[in-house]
Amino acid sequence: MRKLDRPTVLIVGGYPSVPPNYWPMQRRLLQRGAARVEIAPLWLPDWAIAPLLGFGPVMRRTARAIARAYVAGGELPVIVVGHSGGGIFARLAMSNVPFNGRAGGMADRVGCLVTLGTPHGLGRLSNRYRHAGHAATDFLDRSTPGAWFAPGTSYLSVGSSMPPAATSDLAGRFTREFFTIAVGDETAGIGDGIVPFAAVHLEGAVQLTFDDVHHGVIGTPWYGDDAIIDRWWPTALELWRAALAARQSDSSSTASGGIEAELPVMA
Expressed in angstroms, the distance from the first to the final Cα of the chain is: 10
The whole-number pLDDT of residue 203 equals: 97
Cβ 113 vs Cβ 80: under 8 Å = yes
φ, ψ (nearest 5 deg) of residue 172? -65, -40
Of how many residues is the chain composed? 267
Q: For residue 169, how many other CB atoms are within 10 A of its CB?
A: 8
The whole-number pLDDT of residue 132 equals: 86
**How distant, in Å, are the alpha carbons of 14, 139, 201 from that of 145?**
20, 9, 12
The whole-number pLDDT of residue 217 equals: 81
Look at residues 185, 212, 165 and name the one whose alpha carbon lies nearest to residue 122: 185
**How distant, in Å, are the alpha carbons of 2, 88, 218, 257, 263 from that of 252?**
15, 32, 46, 10, 10
The whole-number pLDDT of residue 250 equals: 84
The whole-number pLDDT of residue 133 equals: 87
Q: Residue 156 forms beta bridges with which residues?
A: 114, 206
**How distant, in Å, are the alpha carbons of 160, 176, 187, 189 from that of 179?**
16, 5, 7, 13
Look at residues 52, 62, 140 and name the one whose alpha carbon lies nearest to residue 99: 140
List domains and CATH numbers for the chain: 8-258 (3.40.50.1820)
R_g of the chain computed on alpha carbons: 18
Sequential pLDDT tens for the chain (267 residues)? 344 679 999 999 999 999 999 999 999 999 999 999 999 999 999 999 998 889 999 999 999 999 999 999 999 999 999 999 999 999 999 999 999 999 999 999 999 999 999 999 988 876 667 778 889 999 999 999 999 999 999 999 999 999 876 444 555 565 666 666 667 655 557 899 889 999 999 999 999 999 999 998 877 899 999 999 999 999 999 999 999 999 998 877 665 444 333 444 333
Cβ 87 vs Cβ 10: under 8 Å = no
Give CA–CA dist 11/84, Å, rounded: 11
